[in-house]
Amino acid sequence: MLDWKSLHQTIDGAERILLSTHENPDGDGLGSAAAVYHYLNSQGKNCKIINISELPLEYEFLNQNKMIETYNSLTHMDWIASADLALIFDVGDYSRLGIIGELLNKHKIHVVNIDHHPDTGDGQFSENYINVDAAATGEMAYDFLKAMNISLSKEMAEGIYTGVMTDTGSFCYNNTNEKCHQIAIECMAAGVNTSLIYQTIYENRSPGQIALLAQILNNLDYNQNGELAWFTIDENMMEKAGATKKDIDGFTDFVRTIRGVEVAVMIYQNKPNSCRINFRSKGKYIINDIAKSLGGGGHKFAAGAIAPGTLNEVLQKVLSETKAALAHQNGHVI
């Protein structure tokens, strides 16, 4: 059990509080930060959510009163420098805070990590609240509020629900547990319109994303007797589809849905000499060790990395690491 009361004490002693999550934020990071923001606001704290990436359109519903800001040195550098405390949600790795992480370091701000990813052990956080058994950081935001018997407002519940729903694949992935459903019940009781949130996030795809998906599905590759499916995305495909980098979210989960596929892998050339890699497993194989060997990390069945090199170089490396890991684990059903 995490000592949430101690975090409440830390917050009581702070006036100006920054909340943030990782680059290319997802529903869990944004929802957790939004839920805690509403609580801090109700306590009269001077708080801001500032992220290094733009808020994706489908999460605009969390952005009441434009409370979710994108980092801008002109408006935010001084504010962050004089913060008393930073609460970081779902980040996985300190480096995913980008310039915000550098500023917090530089000004020696007390930085609290609230996360369900394993501790990366880089020691850059002042304090860690980590629960790798939590399905979502949203579940931890819920625990944090419940530790003080705070009853969820609709706004807090919307953030928590968004985190839990998105990280459990709408209560379907194998991290889904009874508690996720109990949280959902409480969120519904607090007035959350769950089907509206689902539609806003998942039934809101851009035509560019679908055009890109079509290309991917036409070029899928299989290995290891069909247990491994992988695909690549390069600049040309993005241009042809008119897609943006956030359009690739969810593709690896989709490829994992294919019958017989146990592990799905995406290699996306995000810069001329760098690739983003996503791993998704149905549960037979643990894949975060593969991600770790490539300089990344994550959960047992959902992980990722950013690796230097051209698409082809990274692809060869990823395939050989993945095939070796699957062969090694084979026969050991988890």
Residue numbers at the binding site for Mn ion (CB under 5 A) = 28, 90, 137, 167
Among residues 97, 34, 21, which one has the least CA distance to residue 64? 34
* Closest residue by beta carbon to Mn ion: 28
Q: Give the nearer residue to Mn ion in terms of CB position, either 125 or 231.
A: 125
**CB-wise, 164 or 238, nearer to Mn ion?**
164
In whole angstroms, what is the distance from residue 312 CA to residue 131 CA?
A: 36
Give the C-alpha separation, 253 to 171, whole Å.
14
Shortest Å, Cβ 310 to Mn ion: 30
Contact 33, 20 (CB under 8 A): yes
> What's the closest the beta carbon of residue 191 comes to Mn ion, in angstroms?
24
β 110-115/127-130 pair status: parallel
In the complex, what is the shortest distance from the CB of residue 20 to Mn ion, in angstroms, rounded to a whole number? Answer: 14
**Comparison of 141 and 294: residue with beta carbon closer to Mn ion:** 141
Strand partners, 127: 112
Measured from the CB of residue 137, what is the shortest distance to Mn ion in angstroms?
Answer: 5
Contact 161, 192 (CB under 8 A): yes
Shortest distance, CB of residue 115 to Mn ion, whole angstroms?
8
Q: Alpha-carbon distance 112 to 84, whole Å? A: 11
The distance of closest approach from Cβ of residue 300 to Mn ion in the complex, given in angstroms and rounded to an integer, is 13
Cα-Cα-Cα-Cα dihedral of 69, 18, 139, 167, to 10°?
40
Q: Tell me which amino acid residue 251 is.
A: F
Maximum CA pair distance of the chain? 58
- The nearest distance, CB 261 to Mn ion, in angstroms, is 23
CB-wise, 25 or 101, nearer to Mn ion?
A: 25
For residues 28 and 262, which CB has a smaller minimum distance to Mn ion in the complex?
Answer: 28
Beta carbon nearer to Mn ion, 59 or 231:
59
Q: Which is nearer to Mn ion, 173 or 230 (CB)?
A: 173
Is the Cα dihedral 167, 173, 175, 176 positive or negative? positive
Are the C-beta atoms of 304 and 277 separated by less than 8 Å? yes
